[in-house]
Structure 1
Amino acid sequence: MTDTRKTALVVGASRTLGLGLAAEYLRRGWDVIGTVRGSGRTGLHDLADTAGGRLTVESLEMTAPEQISALRDRLAQRSLDLLFVNAAITRGDIPIGEVPADMFTEVMLTNALAPMRVVEWLRPLVAPDGTIGVMSSDQGSVSLNTDGGQDLYRAGKSALNQLMRCYAARHAGDPRTLLLMDPGWVRTELGGADAELSVEESVPGVAETMESHRGKSGLHFVDHQGQVVPW
């Protein structure tokens, strides 16, 4: 009998939203490949222990190009229905004029350049009718930014959005679905303790929105409720 289970690769799945997405896709009957940084044990390893062989844990430091290449080689025989890149850091609410150059470089590398390298280099693994998504934020929206604050984090997400638009334009005609996902304001290290949503409240909506957009080619900037986020 042919195995018809779908396969998702979740990059950055050791905790919070990434871990939640890995668990959600397992609940939906998918096979899941999740990446973690380093060799230490994480929540993803614990989840794999209960997944009956349907969850594979891979090591990936996304900011190291050679590790992206090595992951691509290891997965060369796999066909992905979903590639989702979930990774971001913040370094506090600092006015941009006070941000050191090395901090600016670190955030831009982690939040914008590295995710796009993953998208570019792992694209051949994604089925023609599959989906490529990255975790964005409404803080990356230029038109929604009426209050300011979190200058560097906002800039990184805006850069990610713009780079995805460049990618979409360069691959015009590609049938794959491209998504920028806003998970909502979630109680994570980035979102803070006062955020409106728990991971458990956000993640099913993120997965459902990605599924509802499957087969819709081009780039879509949407939130966990399926609503369009303005640029």
Structure 2
Amino acid sequence: MLVVGASRTIGLGLAEQLLRRGWTVIGTVRGTARTALHDLADRSDGRLTVERLEMTDADSRAALRDTLAGTTLDLLLVSAAITNGDQPIGDVDEATFTQVMTVNAYAPLRVVETLLPLVSPTGTIGVLSSSQGSLTLNTRGGHEVYRASKSALNQLMRSFAARHAGDARPLLLLNPGWVRTELGGPEAPLSIDQSVPGVIDTVLAQHGTPGLRFLDHRGQTVPW
């Protein structure tokens, strides 16, 4: 199993939860600095390997694919998100808009495309999304660029699913809920330990069921 973006918060929680359930895990970090994922690897009895990946860099994506050549992944989980805060679009400069869209929507799908040959024909691909990407649920506005980036991510995954309509792999957009992280903020009702086990339960429950679904950490469908 590969968890992309596993150095901290939800990604780190996903890697830790998979280890607790007995899986062998590969987790990625962005740079060369030591992270909590490295500490987790030291305690894993060799069941966690740490690799480097800068998701937004094509050469880095290709290098990870080459490093893992010959590996068959039963599960690919991609966790990545940044936000510019709660600003209306009129206050957001083009560079910030581009950065949020690149990290939250473009890069995750480029990772999926690049690493797809390594995923088992019946393996699962999951990408962390958000209920804020739902058009139906957006009745209050706010966090406009973040919302737009997650909607774009969902649309790109839907297009990916359409191009792979005959594929046996489950494809999942996963809403972990509103979680207390740097991005979610201190007022969020869920801790990582309250969210992540449900995300993993949801992922594992979809094994063997082809097609794309948008699900939350309780296994419930999120409206598009």
TM-score, structure 2 normalization = 0.99
Aligned partner of residue 95 in structure 2, secondary structure: helix
After TM superposition, list the pairs within 5 Å mapping 1:31-70 onto structure 2. 31-70=24-63
Which residue is 2:93 aligned to? 100
Letter in 2 for 1:59: R
Cα offset for 1:77? 1.1
Letter in 2 for 1:111: N
Which residue is 1:142 aligned to? 135
From 15, 20, 31, the equivalent of 1:27 is: 20
Letter in 2 for 1:78: T
Letter in 2 for 1:100: D
From 192, 199, 211, the equivalent of 2:204 is: 211
Which aligned runs of 4 or more in structure 1 are off by greater than 4 angstroms?
none
Query: Is the counterpart of residue 161 in structure 1 residue 154 in structure 2?
Result: yes
Rounded to whole Å, the distance in 1 between the matches of 2:21 and 2:122 is: 19
Aligned partner of residue 136 in structure 2, secondary structure: coil
Rounded to whole Å, the distance in 1 between the matches of 2:2 and 2:142 is: 33
Rounded to whole Å, the distance in 1 between the matches of 2:112 and 2:103 is: 13
Letter in 2 for 1:66: D
Cα offset for 1:98? 1.2
Aligned partner of residue 123 in structure 2, secondary structure: strand
Aligned partner of residue 192 in structure 1, secondary structure: coil
Rounded to whole Å, the distance in 2 between the matches of 1:219 and 1:196 is: 28
Rounded to whole Å, the distance in 1 between the matches of 2:168 and 2:40 is: 33
Which residue is 2:117 aligned to? 124
Cα offset for 1:189? 0.9
Aligned length: 224
Aligned partner of residue 105 in structure 1, secondary structure: helix
Which residue is 1:3 aligned to? none
Which residue is 2:213 aligned to? 220
Which residue is 1:13 aligned to? 6
Query: Is the counterpart of residue 173 in structure 1 residue 160 in structure 2?
Result: no
Cα offset for 1:199? 0.1
* Percent sequence identity over aligned pairs: 67
Rounded to whole Å, the distance in 1 between the matches of 2:141 and 2:116 is: 34
Rounded to whole Å, the distance in 2 between the matches of 1:81 and 1:159 is: 26
Cα offset for 1:91? 1.0
Cα offset for 1:129? 1.0
Letter in 1 for 2:103: T
Cα offset for 1:190? 1.0
Give a deviation string over 1:156-179, Cα, whole Å, max 9, x none. 000000000000000111000000
Letter in 1 for 2:114: W
Cα offset for 1:97? 1.2
